[in-house]
């Protein structure tokens, strides 16, 4: 597969005499291959929107390299703009225009056939409300309009920043289906969202950014596998045997956490070996379940943004990846 | 070209553009209507009526004068002092004369196209310039503040072309509105002059002068629109342009006048912006320094300073060029966040 989007060592620093320098992007890397739905995740203030704005020519980078559809940007941006549809941050439209006017004007500016306007309005479910002013729209309807504007060009690369924001559950499901359909039609989709369950369902691969640096990337299942830590839940026939089982496992170097009705093991590469070991000591397993992690827990772990009781985390308090190890790659076979 | 046409469509679709255009047309119609109603053609019957009124006023004044003399004589006969009340010689020297009661004073106002239309061109220019300023500022200011500009830049990343197309669309609209409404304005007052006033002595030279005034008006309107556009683009908000306009008006028209008055600066109005606006429309504006004369020493011609339309053009042109250059320079370099 060819790379549709490449970012290497991207840097952007905001200088302020009062507050000092803030590195919004600190050597960020990203790679998205053709035909994928790629999740772009990060806590608030981590640099997601700055990355997208920089990629789309709205912000000047201080260093690094970017390429979209094989063209170096920002130099070659005007060559590929017609093939890139994007919404960045919340949908913003002139409130007194109707949805149809809004799209019609964008189509005019982008030299897109006017017939495409009705096609995308139909696609996002705004056909019957297209004649109403945008200011009367709900957030979810504005979001649909934003997606429509991004689809207007029938792009090869679609970049959507929080497209599900404000959508009702039905709308979220429709958006998910739309993303998948678009990817199946050959469109590459980059999706930034905080709804991690959606990302896990929709995306083929993800990039996680924290404090302007990539902290994880790769296919979703590999990222999850890399952070599952071999956790296994064990239940025995009788709860009275849990203490003996914990002792056996502990003696054999398996980290164990005791719970009233089960044991939690970690670092277990082969769960079957646990069953075998306990059986040798006449302790019989009734449940042996590898505990899968979800994207949310991986995200919280990687970005160090899990809530702590009694503490109020500030926006920029995320994980700092130090030294030479700039980014953690989850699993092999996915080149940078 | 597509971007320019799109921006022209966008500008024409904007509610503020339409509302302001309606207000402009209503305002100009109001001025024309008021002037039409106040003007009355001086027909022979109207002139004769004025002469009758002037004669009546003369007769009434003569009668009052004679009565005053009689009262004065009676007072003197009673031995009273009369000079304070009636003047020397009982006011006999102040006999009313027929030429003191000009029938012209009794004539109704008659609109004179030749004498008055150039001033009405300035009124028209002021109104359309205000329209251009507000529409120009809002056109780009609202685009910035609502995120429309960012959306557009995602479609057309050539920033200078985007801003340039918007400016070209604005100036085209302003030029179109000025030419169209200017033609209607001229036709309306020609009609008023023909039907309820006078269009006498309107020679080819007068029309040439009207044409040149119109061109200067058009230039002023375009400059107003372009400056507002540039200021709003610099501040990324409509209020930036409106704020600067109010600020300049307060500083120039009030602050400078007060400051120079306290400091005793000669020809202080040469530092006031409206002087240059007047000079632009009137071709020249004369400033008079009355303090340069010591009238107790006899007659004196006070010193004068002439501000020409060329000086005004240079000032406004430079200001517009400066603000526009800054707007395009910043547009090229700024981060759109």
Regarding whether B268 and B193 lie in a shared domain, the answer is: yes
Which residue, among A263, A329, A260, has the nearest Cα to A291 in the 3D structure?
A263
Region of poorest pLDDT, from A7-16, A27-36, B27-36, B291-300:
B291-300
Interface A-B: count of C-beta contacts within 8 A: 74
One domain, residues B164 and B186: yes
Structural domain harbouring B101: 44-106
Residues A17-33 have pLDDT tens digits of: 887 888 889 899 999 99
Residue A194: the pLDDT is 79
The DSSP symbol for B109 reads P
Mean local confidence (pLDDT), A101-125: 90
pLDDT, mean of residues A150-165: 88
Residue A140 pLDDT class (50, 70, 90 cuts): confident
Choose the closest CB to A81 out of B142, B157, B333. Answer: B157
B246 and B311 both lie in a single domain: yes
Give contacts of A131 with chain B, Cβ < 8 Å: none
Residue B151 at interface with chain A, using a CB cutoff of 8 Å: yes
Q: Which strand ranges, in their side-by-side order, compose the sheet holding A3-14?
A: A22-33, A3-14, A63-68, A71-73
- The pLDDT value given to residue A325: 40
Q: Lowest-pLDDT range, A37-41, A242-246, A263-267, B39-43?
A: A263-267
Domain count, chain B: 2
Distance (Å) from the alpha carbon of A329 to chain B's nearest alpha carbon: 30
User: Would you place residue B306 in the very low, low, confident or very high pLDDT band (cuts 50, 70, 90)?
Assistant: very high
- Residue A91 has a pLDDT of 66
If you average pLDDT over residues A223-250, what whole number do you get?
A: 84
- All structural domains of chain A, each given as residue ranges with its CATH number in brackets, are 3-225 (3.40.50.300), 229-290 (3.30.70.790)
Check pLDDT > 90 for residue B337: no
Decide if B148 and A94 are in contact by the 8 Å CB cutoff: yes
Which residues in chain A have their CB less than 8 angstroms from residue B153's CB? 57-58
Residue of B nearest to A133 (CA): B15
Q: What is A191-258 written as a DSSP string?
A: EE-S-HHHHHHH-SEEEEEETTEEEEEEEHHHHHHHTSTT-EEEEESSGGGHHHHHHHHHHTT--EEE
If asked whether residues B49 and B117 sit together in one domain, one would say no
Q: What is the model's pLDDT at position A323?
A: 41
Task: With residue A64 as reference, give the H or E element that holds it.
Answer: strand A63-68
Query: B59, B76, B106: which is the final residue of a domain?
Result: B106
Q: B166 and B19 in one domain?
A: yes
Rounded to a whole number of angstroms, the distance from the CA of A154 to the nearest CA of chain B is 13
Average pLDDT over residues B51-74: 91
Residues of A with a Cβ under 8 Å from any B Cβ are 50, 53, 56-60, 74, 77-78, 81, 86, 88, 92-97, 101, 105-106, 108-111, 149, 153
Chain A residues inside the 8 Å CB shell of B160:
none
- Chain B residues with CB under 8 Å of A149 CB are 151
Query: Nearest residue on chain A to B143, judged by CA atoms?
Result: A94
Task: Tell me if A133 sits within 8 A of A95, measured CB to CB.
Answer: yes
The predicted pLDDT at position A314 comes to 66
Q: Which DSSP category does A98 fall into?
A: B
**Per-residue pLDDT reduced to its tens digit, B138-188:** 999 998 988 888 888 988 889 999 999 999 999 999 999 999 999 999 999
Q: Reply yes or no on whether the pLDDT at A80 is more than 80.
A: yes
Find the residue in A nearest to B141 (Cα).
A94
Residues B164 and B20 in one domain: yes
Looking at the structure, tell me whether residues B249 and B147 fall in a common domain: yes
CB of B5 within 8 Å of a chain A CB? The answer is yes
| Residue A327: predicted pLDDT | 41
Q: How confident is the model at residue A308, as a pLDDT?
A: 64
pLDDT bracket for residue A100 (50, 70, 90): very high
For residue B1, the model assigns a pLDDT of 59
Query: What per-residue confidence (pLDDT) applies to A179?
Result: 82
Task: Specify the higher pLDDT residue, B311 or A325.
Answer: B311
The domain boundary, picked from B86, B106, B126, lies at B106
**What's the mean pLDDT in B210-222?**
94
E strands, chain B, are 111-112, 197-198, 284-289, 303-308
Query: Residues with Cβ < 8 Å from B269, sequence gap 6 or more?
Result: B257, B275, B287
pLDDT digits (tens, 9 = 90+) for A281-333: 888 899 888 777 777 777 777 777 666 666 666 666 655 544 434 444 433 22
| Minimal Cβ distance to B337: which of A53, A74, A106 | A53
Q: For B143-147, B201-205, B327-331, which range has the lowest pLDDT when averaged over its residues?
A: B143-147
**Residue from the list A74, A97, A109 with its beta carbon closest to the beta carbon of B156:** A109
- B326 Cβ under 8 Å from any chain A Cβ: no
Taking CB atoms and an 8 Å cutoff, what residues of chain B touch A88? Answer: 150, 154
Highest-scoring range by mean pLDDT, A93-97, A284-288, A327-331, B311-315: B311-315
* B224 and B272 assigned to the same domain: yes
**Is the CB of B336 less than 8 angstroms away from the CB of A106?**
no
pLDDT for the residue numbered A322: 46
Q: Would the CB atoms of A94 and B337 count as touching at under 8 Å?
A: no
A110 closest CB neighbour out of B14, B155, B158: B155
**Residue B78 in contact with partner chain A when CB distance is under 8 A:** no
Residue A166: half-sphere exposure toward Cβ, Cα within 13 Å: 17
Mean pLDDT of B225-243: 94
| Whether residue B218 is found in the same domain as residue B328 | yes
Mutate one of A14, A53, A58, A73 to test the B interface: name it (highest B CB count within 10 A).
Answer: A58
Instruction: Give the pLDDT confidence score for residue B86 in this predicted structure.
Output: 83
Note the pLDDT of residue A324: 38
Alpha-carbon distance of B174 to B182, in angstroms, equals 11
Maximum CA extent, chain A: 77
ipTM exceeding 0.90, yes/no: no
Query: Does B50 lie in the same domain as B79?
Result: yes
Instruction: Examine the domain organization and report whether B137 and B213 are in the same domain.
Output: yes
Domain shared by B31 and B95, yes or no:
no
Q: Do residue A109 and residue B146 have CB atoms under 8 angstroms apart?
A: no
Residues of chain A in contact with residue B4, where contact means CB-CB under 8 angstroms, are: none
**Residue ending a domain, choose from B68, B91, B106:** B106
Please report the pLDDT score of residue A319 as a whole number: 53
Q: Residues B123-132: what's their mean pLDDT?
A: 96
Of B6, B154, B336, the CB nearest to A108: B6
Section B213-240 average pLDDT: 95
Query: Under an 8 A CB cutoff, do A53 and B336 touch?
Result: yes
Average pLDDT, rounded, for chain B: 91
Contacts of B158 in chain A (CB under 8 A): 78
Nearest to A175 by CA among A157, A155, A195, A156: A195
């Amino acid at each position: 597969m060819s790379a549709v989007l490449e970012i290497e060592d991207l840097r952007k620093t905001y200088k302020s005499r009062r507050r000092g320098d803030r590195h919004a992007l600190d050597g960020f890397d990203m790679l998205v291959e053709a035909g994928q739905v790629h999740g772009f995740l990060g806590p608030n203030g981590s640099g997601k929107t700055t990355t997208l704005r920089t990629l789309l020519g709205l912000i000047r980078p201080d260093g690094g390299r970017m390429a979209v559809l094989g063209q170096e940007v920002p130099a070659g941006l005007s060559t590929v703009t017609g093939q890139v549809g994007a919404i960045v941050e919340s949908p913003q439209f002139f409130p007194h225009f109707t949805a149809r006017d809004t799209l019609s004007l964008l189509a005019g500016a982008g030299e897109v056939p006017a017939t495409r306007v009705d096609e995308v309005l139909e696609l996002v479910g705004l056909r019957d409300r297209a004649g109403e002013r945008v200011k009367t729209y709900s957030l979810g309807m504005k979001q649909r309009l934003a997606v429509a504007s991004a689809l207007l060009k029938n792009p090869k690369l679609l970049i959507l920043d929080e497209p599900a924001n404000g959508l009702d559950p039905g709308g979220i499901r429709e958006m998910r289906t739309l993303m998948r359909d678009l990817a199946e039609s050959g469109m590459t989709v980059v999706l930034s969202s905080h709804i991690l369950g959606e990302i896990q369902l929709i995306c083929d691969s993800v990039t996680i950014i924290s404090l302007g640096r990539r902290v994880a990337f790769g296919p979703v299942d590999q990222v999850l596998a890399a952070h599952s830590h071999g956790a296994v839940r064990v239940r025995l026939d009788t709860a009275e045997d849990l203490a003996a089982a914990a002792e056996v496992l502990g003696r054999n170097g398996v980290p164990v956490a005791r719970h009233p009705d089960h044991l939690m093991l970690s670092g277990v590469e082969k769960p079957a070996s646990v069953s075998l070991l306990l059986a040798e000591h006449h302790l019989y397993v009734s449940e042996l379940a590898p505990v899968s992690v979800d994207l949310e827990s991986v995200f919280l772990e990687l970005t160090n943004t899990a809530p702590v009781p009694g503490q109020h985390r500030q926006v920029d308090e995320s994980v700092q990846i130090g030294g030479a190890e700039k980014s953690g790659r989850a699993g092999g076979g996915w080149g940078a | 070209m597509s971007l320019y046409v799109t921006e022209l469509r966008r500008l024409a679709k904007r509610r503020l553009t339409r509302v302001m255009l309606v207000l402009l047309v209503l305002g100009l119609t109001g001025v024309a209507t008021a002037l039409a109603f106040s003007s009355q053609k001086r027909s022979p019957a109207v002139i004769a009526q004025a002469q009758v009124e002037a004669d009546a006023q003369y007769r009434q004044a003569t009668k009052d004068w004679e009565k005053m003399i009689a009262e004065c004589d009676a007072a003197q006969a009673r031995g009273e002092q009369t000079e304070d009340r009636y003047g020397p010689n009982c006011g006999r020297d102040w006999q009313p004369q027929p030429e003191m009661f000009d029938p012209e004073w009794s004539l109704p106002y008659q609109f004179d196209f030749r004498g008055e239309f150039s001033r009405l061109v300035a009124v028209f220019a002021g109104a359309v310039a205000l329209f251009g300023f507000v529409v120009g500022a809002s056109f780009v200011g609202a685009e910035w503040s609502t995120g429309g500009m960012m959306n557009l830049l995602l479609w057309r990343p050539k920033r200078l072309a985007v801003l340039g197309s918007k400016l070209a669309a604005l100036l085209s609209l302003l030029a179109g509105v000025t030419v169209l409404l200017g033609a209607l304005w001229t036709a309306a007052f020609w009609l008023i002059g023909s039907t309820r006033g006078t269009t006498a002595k309107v020679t080819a030279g007068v029309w040439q002068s009207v044409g040149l005034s119109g061109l200067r008006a058009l230039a002023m309107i375009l400059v107003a629109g372009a400056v507002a556009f540039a200021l709003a683009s610099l501040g990324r908000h409509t209020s930036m342009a409106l704020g600067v306009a109010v600020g300049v008006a307060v500083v120039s028209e009030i602050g400078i006048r007060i400051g120079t008055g306290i400091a005793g600066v000669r020809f202080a109005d040469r530092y006031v912006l409206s002087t240059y606006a007047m000079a632009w429309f009137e071709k020249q504006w004369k400033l008079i320094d009355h303090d340069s004369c010591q009238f107790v020493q006899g007659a004196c011609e006070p010193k004068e300073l002439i501000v020409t339309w060329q000086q005004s053009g240079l000032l406004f042109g430079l200001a517009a060029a400066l603000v526009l250059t800054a707007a395009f320079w910043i547009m090229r370099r700024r981060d759109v966040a």
